Structure 1
Amino acid sequence: MQLEDPYRHDSLRVLQNFESIDDTFSSAIRNSDVINRKIPSQPCRILDAPDLVDDYYLNLISWSSDNILAVALAHCVYLWNAGSGEIHHLTTIEGDDDYVTSVAWCTISGQSKYLAIGTNSNKVQLWDTQASKLVRTLRGHSGRVASMAWNQHWLSSGGRDSLIIQHDVRSANHVVSRYKAHEQEVCGLKWNEDGTSLWDASMSSRSRNRDVSPRLVLKQHKAAVKALDWCPFNRGLLASGGGTADRSIKLWNSNSGAMLKSIDTGSQVCSILWSKHQRELCSSHGFSENQLILWKYGSRSSLTKVKELTGHTHRILSLACSPDGSTVVSAAADESLRFWNIFGSAPSRRSSVLPMGDLTFGMPTIR
């Protein structure tokens, strides 16, 4: 597999102090607490997703910069073209006890055709989706691979063996390093935008910020943490969500480790996504409402609930965002995918990359 030249990592820089946001920015935040656009209450599209595995710790959808949604359904991976609506079966994992446990599109510019697939047999497969060809298999874990995150030519994988492995996908000896991350399964991984910090989260209710060894260990959650996302407009701001016994969304200053805000959502937090062009956050939840919640981020790290979106009948396991930042897809244990025009188009764009027709009542299948 031929990838571009290695990314030159910047040395870890001091992150901004969130307690000292300049007055102009604070004023703008205060004046934008109200959302003026209309937020549809119904999804713009629904797809049937039979055999979607109901497992809180897995990451079974990923939306590429080429507008292709990868969906893992038990042993199979399907690719749905959001522009044309075409569906392509990429692969079926062999073995009675094997199934897909995570998917992640490559984020390297010009290399977005590559898809990483984590499996229950402890392996990571790297696929060229345009050629429908398995490029290579990455080994090193002794437990299933539940989470993955790209950082240029590095692929980070987290497993049930409590390890995080850094793979250099260009090298024959691909394992660059191994970290003993937690005492339990690693179910969440997120690199920040400039590739200098990796946050990982696990069943042990802890999340860690690391470059090589952990710089911070955050223990305030009271249940498993899977939901993680870096804020795109405020460098170093991280959001995390806790499981059933915790139910909270917390905002963190990843430089100091200070918890800036904690909100009790009332239900299990399964996934979190920041908007790419709005100061907003979307979270997905389990029992009892199985809803999505749109939050407005305001001054002093406040979170204001804007709207709840319902329709799923079981917990919403994962979220992914379209490349233009307008549409969020939710994958739920009711074996359906629902597409929501939550964030709206970017100020410079008038239309979404996803055709926004009427609600599809026929429930076309993803396969």
Structure 2
Amino acid sequence: MEWKLKKYFRPKVKREGAMVLANTMRVLSKDLFSFKRKYSFGAVKKTTDISYRRFKRRILSRRSTEFPVASSPMTTRWQHSYITENDTVCQRLPLDSPPRSTSLTEVRLGDQETLPTPDGESPVDLDKRGWDVSAKSLLETSRECNRGQSDALKVNEQDCIWKESEGDENRSSTPLPFSIVDTAPSMPCSVFKAEWQMAVPGLQDDYYLNLLAWSEQNVIVLGLASSVCIWDASTQSLQGSLQLTAHTSDLFGPPCCPRVSSVAWSKDGQTLAIGKSDGEILLWDVERRTSLRKLTGHLSSVGSLSCNQYILSSGSVLGLIHHHDARVARPVVGWLRQKKGICGLAWRPDGSKLASGTTDGLLSIWPDDPGATGKCLPMLTISHPTAVKALAWCPWQLEEVAVGGGRQDGALRVWDTHTGLCRQSVQTHSQICSLCWCPANEELLSGHGLPQNQITCWKMPSMSRKAELYGHRGRVLHLARSPCGTRIFTVGSDLQACMWKRSDRLIGPQEDADGHCCEN
């Protein structure tokens, strides 16, 4: 019975479905014919084809050039041409890349620039005799540039303002930066003795930032939120702070104030470089309290800075490394490219190599080529299980670089960049946030996270534990040593900073009774 019903109803269903489909097609064809007559469908189709061909031509031209496209947090292999065109189909986006130019030769180090320089010399002549940029020469250069015809070189004083120290800390209910806290570190060490424990309110608990630097002039700078505090270690006093000002947002909304993402001193300790979360870099003469220049090129957070004579290298979250020369009109003279964000950057002490660490665990060694382009490949690439943020070159073994592992790794490794082999390795079972070498006693200091948040002193080359310092209740994010090597300064995520002084005998420089460095 069931079979007979299926045989009866199946042809009927097919006939009804075919009739419905035919009626539907008839209605659609009628509507399409009326639409063609009313709106001239052929002209619309022709315009669309022209726009698509134009769009395709733009994409192909972009892929044939050398500059990276970084319009998204993930770096792609597409390329971008730096020609501004009024195209209604494919508009040019501001990208994290070198400034606009018609050719690569305009941003190379060896090309002639119209920028006036001291004593009437060209940048090429200054480069040949190894001219090292000081704060005074940078100030004179920036003033001459401001008198010139390039408006892009003018320094906007409103980007960062100097703020004097507030003096007595008892006037405020909240602790001021670098104000001494009464509580002392819990466990003193026989090698290092704790001198002070200070408050650093507003410190960003971000593993990938580099917010501490100690200059050759014995001045400590620390980035706290949207300000950079300047503390003189010789007089043990807070000189003042540099406050970043708010910018008007491009969208409809209140003005937003960028944050400090990295700081670095020049080799002579007179010029301070400040990396911001909006991609800009500010150069300041701290002694004269004068803004020297603003460097642009990044459109993402500048997480790391490193100086090599007249070259300032910066690394961004989008994986680009820019080489800046503040003496020329277009400061970005070269750039390198990585797939992931740059969280560690350090020039070798002799300036012959550059080490960079990325968030995906790559340690790359680059040659000393300030005019390099994105096609330049690293001399050596070493993969790690976690992000390479804590890295430092050995001052006496120049081919060695120390790298600290993250939370999932916890290993401290010393690599030979000449052979690519691991010289020493030790498991710490904790996150390594910061590293610092002490050449006077041939030691390596490492700042750790959980579970103990300690500072460990390693005796080299045996890499044996010499001492452990306990003074923080949070991970030790930043670590720096004094120019004479007798003190170290640590900053933790517990919003506390500690000053430690060596209590054992030094092999190298020591301090006299007035606290100044002297040779032993």
Q: Which moved more, 1:85-94 or 1:306-315?
A: 85-94
- 8 Å contact 2:190–2:503 — kept in the other structure? no
- TM-score normalised by the chain length of structure 2: 0.59
Q: How many residues align?
A: 320
Residues 195 and 92 (structure 1 numbering): CA distance in 2 closer, same or farther, change over 3 Å?
same
Instruction: Measure how far apart 1:328 and its partner are.
Output: 1.1
SS in 2 for 1:308: strand
Task: Give the deviation of 1:344 after TM superposition.
Answer: 5.5
Equivalence for 1:140: 297
Task: Tell me the distance in 1 between the aligned counterparts of 2:334 and 2:241.
Answer: 30
Deviation string, structure 1 residues 51-83 (Cα, Å, up to 9, x no partner): 011100001110000000011110111110001
C-alpha displacement of 1:276 = 2.2
CA distance in 2, matches of 1:244, 1:63: 26
Counterpart of 2:491? 331
Per the alignment, do residues 344 and 173 of structure 1 end up closer, same or farther by CA in structure 2, a change over 3 Å counting? farther
In 2: Cα distance, 1:269 partner to 1:8 partner:
40
Instruction: Name the one with the larger helix percent.
Output: 2
**One-letter code of the match for 1:294?**
C
Root-mean-square deviation (CA, aligned residues, Å) is: 2.3
Structure 1 length-normalised TM: 0.82
Is 1:59 the counterpart of 2:210? The answer is yes
Matched residue of 1:126: which SS?
strand
**Does residue 39 of the first structure (1) align with residue 203 of the second (2)?**
no
Determine the structure 1 residue equivalent to 2:315. 158
Deviation at 1:192, TM superposition (A): 0.8
Distance in 1 between the 2:380 and 2:314 partners?
19
Q: Which whole-Å CA distance do the structure 2 matches of 1:79 and 1:64 have between them? A: 11
Q: Which residue is equivalent to 2:353? A: 197
Of 461, 466, 474 in structure 2, the residue corresponding to residue 306 of structure 1 is 466
Cα 1:279/1:354, change in 2 over 3 Å: farther
Structure 2: runs of 5 or more not aligned: 1-116, 131-188, 247-255, 370-376
- C-alpha distance in structure 2 between counterparts of 1:161 and 1:353, whole Å: 49
Structure 1 residue 89: Cα displacement: 2.2
Structure 1 residue 306 displacement after superposition: 1.3
1: CA distance, partners of 2:454 / 2:388: 18
Equivalent residue for 1:170? Answer: 327
Distance change in 2, residues 1:133/1:167 (3 Å) = same
Name the CA distance, whole Å, in 2 between partners of 1:179 and 1:52.
Answer: 30
Alignment of 1:345-360 (within 5 A): 346-347=506-507, 349-351=509-511
| Residue 217 (structure 1) aligned with residue 414 (structure 2) | no
1:249 aligns with 2:426: no
Partner of 2:396: 233
Deviations 1:161-185 (A, max 9, x none): 110000012112100111112x222
Shift of 1:341: 2.1
Structure with the greater relative contact order (CA < 8 A, sep ≥ 6): 1 or 2? 1
Counterparts of 2:514 and 2:320 in 1: how far apart (Å)? 37
Structure with the higher fraction of residues in strand conformation: 1
The counterpart of 1:100, out of the listed 260, 263, 272, is 260
- Does the 8 Å CA contact 1:326/1:345 hold for their aligned counterparts? no
Tell me how far apart the structure 2 counterparts of residues 105 and 294 of structure 1 sit (CA, whole Å). 25
Aligned-pair identity (%)? 33
Matched to 2:412, the amino acid is: I
Contact 1:6-1:152 at 8 Å conserved across structures: no
Contact 1:82–1:354 (Cα < 8 Å) also in 2: no
Q: Distance in 2 between matches of 1:353 and 1:69?
A: 21
